[in-house]
Amino acid sequence: MEGFFQRYLRLYRPLITRLNELMSTYQLSYSLWQVIFYIKNHGPSTLVDISNQYQVEKPTITRRVQRLEELKIVKQIPGKDRREKIIQLTELGEEIYKECRKKITELEHRVMEGIDKEDQIIMFQTLPKVQANIMKREGSNIEQSEIVDK
Amino acid sequence: MEGFFQRYLRLYRPLITRLNELMSTYQLSYSLWQVIFYIKNHGPSTLVDISNQYQVEKPTITRRVQRLEELKIVKQIPGKDRREKIIQLTELGEEIYKECRKKITELEHRVMEGIDKEDQIIMFQTLPKVQANIMKREGSNIEQSEIVDK
DNA sequence: GGAAACTATTACCCAAGGTAACTATATGCC
DNA sequence: GGCATATAGTTACCTTGGGTAATAGTTTCC
C-alpha cells in the first residue's frame, strides 16, 4: 500500500478549505463545527468530554467554546460538580446546526458523485479501522468500538 | 454517506503526528517530506512545479525549500531560464529519502494490519476520485489523471 | 523595444494547536 | 476531619504551517 498516505493527505487541504467556505456564512470553521456536532449528538457536555473525543488538548477546546459563546451558539451552565461547566446549544445553535448539517450532507453527496456505491461503503467502513490501527500504536488504549462515532 | 467527513478527518491529526515523529530524527516533518518526495520522483524541479503539485502557494514552498537547504538535503542551482532555480537532492538528501521512504512504507503496512486486501485497494483507488470531485468544484481545471501521482 | 507574463522572494498576518503553570473544586484515605 | 492527590477549566506563551500583497528580476511576444 505504498503511497497510501500521499493519497489520503492530498484531499485534506482542499476539503478543509471547502468546508470552511461552506460555513463562513455563520462565521464558523470546521473545528468549531466539531464542537457543535458533538454537543448535538451527545447532549450537553463538558470540555473534557469534547477534548477526549477529538484527541485534542483542553485549551484548544476552551478556545473553541469561547468563540462559540461569542457567536451565541452555545452557552455554559455550571454543573452539579462545581468544577465543571456544562456546554449546551442555544436556540440559535440548534438552528445553525440544522442548516450546516444540511449543507455538509449535500457536499458529502457531491464529493461521492460518480463513485461506485459499494466502494463508498467500503471506504466509509475502512477509514475507522485505519484510525484504530494508528491510534493503537500511539499508546492510547482506545478500542475500535469507541472510535466509531454514532 | 453522511458522516464521511468525520471519518475522514479523524485520522488526520494522529496520522500527521505519527509521521512527524517518524521523521523527527532527521529534523523533518511531513510537509518537508513532500518536497523531497516530489523531487525524487519528478527529478530536479522548480518551486512552481512543487507548489502546483500540492496546491499550496509559492511562499510556502519557498520556506520549505529554504529549510531543506539549511539541512543540506537539497541544493538550488540556477536554471537556463535565469528566473528559475532548479531544486535538487544532495547526496545526503538521497540517503535520507531512502531511509524515510522505508520507515513510511513500514508504517503504511502497519496501519493496514487486519484490513482486507481488497478493501485496501478499493480505498486506495477511491480516495483520488474523491479528491477529483472536491477539486472540480473548486474551480481549478485539474483532470483526475493529473491528480493521481505516479 | 516595451507591455505583459512569469519565477521567486520578502514582509506581514492568521488559524489552529501544544505545553506549562495555575485556580478552584472534589475525592480518597488515614 | 483533614490533607494529599486528582480533575475541570483557564491563561500565557510558543510553534507549525499556510495565505496575501507587493516587489525584483527575467523572459516572451508582438
pLDDT tens digit string along B33-53? 999 999 999 999 999 999 999
| B148, B103: one domain | no
| Averaged pLDDT, groups of 10, chain A, 150 residues long | 89 92 94 97 96 94 97 95 96 97 95 95 95 72 44
Longest CA–CA separation in chain A, Å: 52
What is the per-residue pLDDT for A49? 96
Instruction: Please give the helix or strand (H or E) that residue A88 lies within, else none.
Output: strand A85-89
| B96, B121: one domain | no
Is a pLDDT exceeding 60 seen at residue B149? no
What is the per-residue pLDDT for A2? 83
Residues with Cβ within 8 Å of A25's Cβ and at least 6 positions away in sequence, in order, are none
Task: Report chain A's terminal Cα–Cα distance, integer Å.
Answer: 29
Residues with Cβ within 8 Å of A49's Cβ and at least 6 positions away in sequence, in order, are A38, A42
Residues B90-101: pLDDT tens digits?
999 999 999 999
Give distance CA B130 / C1' C5 (Å). Answer: 33
Residue type, A141: N
| B16, B57: one domain | yes
| A29, A65: one domain | yes
CA-based radius of gyration for chain A: 17
- Which of A60, A105, A112, A127 to probe the B interface (max B CBs under 10 A)? A127
Residues of B in contact with A3 (CB under 8 A): 108, 124, 149
Q: pTM for the whole thing? A: 0.88
Domain total of chain A: 2
| B106, B125: one domain | no
What is the per-residue pLDDT for B139? 45
| A30, A94: one domain | yes
**Section B114-139 average pLDDT:** 88
Chain A, chain B: beta-carbon pairs less than 8 Å apart: 160
Residues with Cβ within 8 Å of B6's Cβ and at least 6 positions away in sequence, in order, are A37, A149
| A123, A102: one domain | no
Q: Looking up cell 477509514, which residue turns up? A: A127
| A22, A75: one domain | yes
Q: Which residue has its C-alpha nearest to nucleotide C10's C1'?
A: B59
| B43, B56: one domain | yes
- C-alpha separations of A91 from A1, A26, A36, A72, B118 in Å: 47, 15, 12, 9, 46
What is the per-residue pLDDT for A142? 43
What is the per-residue pLDDT for B111? 94
Q: If pLDDT is split at 50, 70 and 90, which confidence band does B66 have?
A: very high
| A136, A71: one domain | no
Q: Where are the extended beta strands (E) located within B36-134?
A: 74-78, 85-89
Nucleotide nearest to A84 (CA to C1'): D8
Give distance CA A65 / C1' C17 (Å). Answer: 15
Is a pLDDT exceeding 90 seen at residue B148? no
Q: What is the CATH number of the domain that holds A56?
A: 1.10.10.10
| A70, A54: one domain | yes
| A77, A147: one domain | no
Domain carrying residue A141: 117-150
Give distance CA A82 / C1' D3 (Å). Answer: 21
